[in-house]
């Protein structure tokens, strides 16, 4: 897991440096991502500083599916340049809070600058791993993520951590890369690298099974578009039951 993690960190650090210099993410992006935030976020892209838009490495728009409400606490796993944290902070309002979690110092520095430029104060960026979230149990209402969970080499642990930090009734609104059920791990590796967001992708069946094993209910995976042969950008929704195990 450490080798995969370090390769991902190096790639995202380079993306942060390029964005800080005024360039798009270029080679720092996932192979399936888009360096044009306008293509993924539409009119929402104008709500964030240019630096946040340039650093967007995602494959979707979790803000469009998370249905954020005033006063909620949101956690963005793998927050990168902060685009989803800034957008979330504006939607939950002054009574709410948006956390961004990232393991890359360069991305955290960039995200903090972007949040300051955007004038949002109800944000907090944390350094850490999505397999080891540095937040207490039951402290978050909503978890979002944008093309990051596929990069983890220990996805079951990520799902366990999401379950742990969510409050009962909390929910997921995630964009991720998911493989067709007919593709073996070897087939996925043929279509792209792990740091390119393809080789490490779970299949639809695997993704749902892992979420349910962690205790999630109302699991729904919806493909939005095909990004490679048999590889899809997908919306992932799920909820933590009010009574665990129900």
What is the pLDDT at residue 127? 97
What is the pLDDT at residue 24? 47
Three-state SS at 187: helix
Q: Which residue has the tokens 């048999």?
A: 230
Look at 18-22, 42-46, 115-119, 179-183 and tell me which has the smallest mean pLDDT: 18-22
Query: Which pair of tokens denotes residue 159?
Result: 């799902």
State the pTM of this model.
0.86
Selected residue with higher pLDDT from 243 and 7: 243
Is the distance from CB of 114 to CB of 138 less than 8 angstroms? Answer: no
Selected residue with higher pLDDT from 215 and 16: 215
What is the pLDDT at residue 50? 60
Residue 234, pLDDT > 70, answer yes
What is the pLDDT at residue 23? 45
Burial label, 93 (beta-carbon count in 10 A; 0-12, 13-18, 19+): middle
Selected residue with higher pLDDT from 197 and 19: 197
What is the pLDDT at residue 36? 56
User: Thinking of the domain 2-239, which architecture would CATH place it in?
Assistant: 3-Layer(aba) Sandwich (3.40)
Selected residue with higher pLDDT from 233 and 56: 233
Selected residue with higher pLDDT from 126 and 6: 126
């Amino acid at each position: 897991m450490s080798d995969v993690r370090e390769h991902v960190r190096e790639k995202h650090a380079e993306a942060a440096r390029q964005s800080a210099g005024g360039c798009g993410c270029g080679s720092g992006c996932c192979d399936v991502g888009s360096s044009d935030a306008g293509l993924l976020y539409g009119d929402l892209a104008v709500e964030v500083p240019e630096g946040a838009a340039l650093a967007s490495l995602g494959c979707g728009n979790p803000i469009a599916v998370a249905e954020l409400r005033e006063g909620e606490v949101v956690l963005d796993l793998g927050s990168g340049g902060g685009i989803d944290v800034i957008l979330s902070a504006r939607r939950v309002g002054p009574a709410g809070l948006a956390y961004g979690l990232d393991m890359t110092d360069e991305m955290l520095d960039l995200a903090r600058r972007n949040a300051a430029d955007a004038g949002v104060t109800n944000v907090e960026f944390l350094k850490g791993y999505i397999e080891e979230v540095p937040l207490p149990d039951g402290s978050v209402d909503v978890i979002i993520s944008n093309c990051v969970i596929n990069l983890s080499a220990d996805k079951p642990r990520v799902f366990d951590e999401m379950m742990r930090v969510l409050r009962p009734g909390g929910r997921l609104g995630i964009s991720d890369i998911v493989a067709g059920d007919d593709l073996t791990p070897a087939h996925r590796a043929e279509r792209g690298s792990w740091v390119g967001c393809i080789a490490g992708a779970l299949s639809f069946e695997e993704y749902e099974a892992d979420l349910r094993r962690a205790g999630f209910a109302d699991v729904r995976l919806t493909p939005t578009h095909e990004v490679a042969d048999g590889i899809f950008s997908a919306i992932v929704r799920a909820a933590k039951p009010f009574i665990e195990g129900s």
